[in-house]
């Protein structure tokens, strides 16, 4: 690593860093590109701890990055999986209204999805809903037949393979600790040695704000980790779920509400909730970091967020510690589900950027510094959108660093 000089160094070996790396070398094969990942394996954080849903693009504000990248990303992802023989399934999804009071929001979702170019959306009544998901209660539902499931870890591994075959280098167990700028080059001090690059792309997920700060960039957001906890359905209860069953989401909150997912590995998961984690990679309830917590407390946006969302936040914590409350929410979608159908499941931690005014950034945020591009907010549907986001970042890098690299 010591003597290496790269055109571009990408920090973060998750699905976004790897998609960007692969597409950079597809477009500019002569560039020397390195991916630097702190863990021993690639894709072990958000990319390896998610629901594995290829979203169709319904929820997002028309014209937003999320809307554009998700719709394009799903199409590209399906094509990529076909071409690379990665198992996926477009099993479809229902968003279920349980009460007339939710019809307005369901209609809004239909309009949004249609405006975003999501094909074949259909508003269905209770009889058709029973045909699609026989065990689901609901008075109306939005049916999105092209929503699918895949293992994003496998997709990320395929990106990494292609990148390496094109001549790219991947360094694992190399945590970036310090970044120094000096006359047209950046020196990345890592736990594996120092690497020189002309430019860098920050895809560090839960640490994206910290990495941006190492470059001296003032990004005006802080990453706050939100843990999503899952239950799994016992194998004998899998028949309760055919595909993907979601509630109508709370428009005040950027998470989708606890739902049922039949994933590509054949498990059925219930969740995830959204509880603020006390450590950036805090996968367990007891995980705590003094540094992360003090950093949150010192950030004005944290207090404003707490004032804005304290009620929803307390509800999430209460449900996290009370299996009965979790079960009750699940029973709203599938009334016959019982405590005995559930096993404890895993968890994932979302990197959610929070602005200084306390708002949770709704859209993807990708910004350009002098010698760097920073991905500051890429929660769900980031994995679905990964090919489109990588294409966008590669385009920015070529436009901005092209002449100098």
Ligand X SMILES: Cc1cc2nc3c(=O)[nH]c(=O)nc-3n(C[C@H](O)[C@H](O)[C@H](O)COP(=O)(O)OP(=O)(O)OC[C@H]3O[C@@H](n4cnc5c(N)ncnc54)[C@H](O)[C@@H]3O)c2cc1C
Please tell me whether the peptide bond between 282 and the residue prior to it is cis, using omega within 30 degrees of 0: no
Nearer to ligand X, 45 or 262 (CB): 45
Provide the 3-class DSSP secondary structure of residue 296. Answer: helix
Q: C-beta of 341: minimal distance to ligand X in Å?
A: 21
State which of positions 92-131 bind ligand X (CB under 6 A): none
Angstrom distance (rounded) from CA 189 to CA 179? 6
* Strand-strand pairing, 122-124 and 185-190: unpaired
- Out of 383, 393, 394, 405, the only residue in the binding site for ligand X (CB under 6 A) is 383
State which of positions 3-32 bind ligand X (CB under 6 A): 11-17
Nearer to ligand X, 142 or 214 (CB): 214
x/- map, 196-225, ligand X, by CB under 6 A: -------xxxxx---x--------------
- Out of 175, 325, 327, 367, the only residue in the binding site for ligand X (CB under 6 A) is 175
Nearer to ligand X, 140 or 390 (CB): 390
- Out of 148, 228, 243, 247, the only residue in the binding site for ligand X (CB under 6 A) is 228
Nearer to ligand X, 255 or 299 (CB): 255
Helix (H) or strand (E) holding 293: helix 290-297
Helix axes 152-165, 15-27, angle to 10 degrees: 30
Q: CB neighbours (10 Å) of residue 285?
A: 15
Angstrom distance (rounded) from CA 405 to CA 396? 13
x/- map, 137-156, ligand X, by CB under 6 A: --------------------
The 3-state secondary structure of 94-131 reads EEEECCHHHHHHHHHHHHHHHHCCCCCCEEECHHHHHH
**Interface with ligand X, residue 272, by CB under 6 A:** yes
Angstrom distance (rounded) from CA 300 to CA 311? 19
Nearer to ligand X, 106 or 389 (CB): 389
Query: Which spans of this chain sit near ligand X (rule: CB under 6 A)?
Result: 11-17, 36-39, 43-47, 49-53, 55, 175-176, 203-207, 211, 228, 272, 348-350, 375, 378-384
């Amino acid at each position: 690593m010591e003597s290496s000089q790269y055109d571009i160094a990408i920090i973060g070996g998750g699905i976004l860093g790897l998609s960007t790396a692969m597409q950079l070398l597809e477009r500019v094969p002569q560039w020397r590109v390195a991916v630097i990942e702190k863990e021993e394996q690639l894709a072990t954080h958000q990319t390896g701890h998610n629901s594995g849903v290829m979203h169709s693009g319904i929820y997002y504000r028309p014209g937003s990055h999320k809307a554009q990248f998700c719709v394009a990303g799903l199409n590209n992802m399906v094509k990529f999986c076909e071409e690379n023989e990665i198992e996926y399934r477009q099993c479809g999804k229902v968003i279920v209204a349980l009460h007339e009071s939710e019809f307005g929001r369901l209609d809004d979702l239909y309009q949004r999805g249609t405006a975003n170019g999501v094909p074949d959306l259909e508003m269905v009544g209770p009889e058709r809903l029973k045909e699609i998901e026989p065990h689901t209660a609901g008075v109306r539902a939005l049916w999105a037949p092209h929503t699918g499931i895949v293992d994003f870890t496998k997709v990320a591994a395929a990106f990494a393979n292609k990148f390496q075959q094109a001549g790219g280098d991947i360094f694992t167990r190399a945590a970036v600790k310090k970044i120094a700028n000096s006359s047209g080059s950046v020196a990345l001090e890592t736990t594996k040695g120092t690497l020189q690059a002309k430019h860098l792309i920050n895809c560090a997920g839960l640490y994206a704000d910290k990495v941006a700060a190492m470059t001296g960039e003032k990004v005006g957001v802080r990453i706050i980790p939100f843990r999503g906890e899952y239950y799994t359905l016992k194998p004998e209860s899998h028949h309760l779920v055919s595909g993907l069953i979601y509630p109508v989401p709370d428009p005040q909150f950027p998470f989708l509400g606890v739902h049922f997912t039949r994933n590509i590995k054949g498990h059925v998961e219930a969740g995830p909730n959204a509880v603020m984690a006390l450590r950036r990679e805090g996968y367990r309830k007891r995980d705590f970091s003094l540094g992360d917590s003090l950093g949150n407390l010192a950030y004005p946006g944290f207090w404003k967020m707490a004032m804005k969302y304290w009620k929803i936040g307390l509800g999430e914590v209460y449900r996290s510690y009370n299996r009965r409350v979790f079960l009750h929410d699940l029973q709203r979608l599938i009334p016959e589900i019982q405590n005995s159908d559930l096993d404890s499941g895993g968890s994932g931690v979302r990197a959610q950027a929070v602005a200084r005014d306390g708002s949770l950034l709704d859209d993807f945020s990708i910004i350009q510094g002098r010698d760097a591009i920073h991905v500051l907010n890429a929660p769900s549907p980031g994995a679905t959108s990964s090919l489109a986001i990588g294409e966008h970042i590669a385009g920015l890098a070529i436009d901005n660093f092209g002449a100098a690299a």
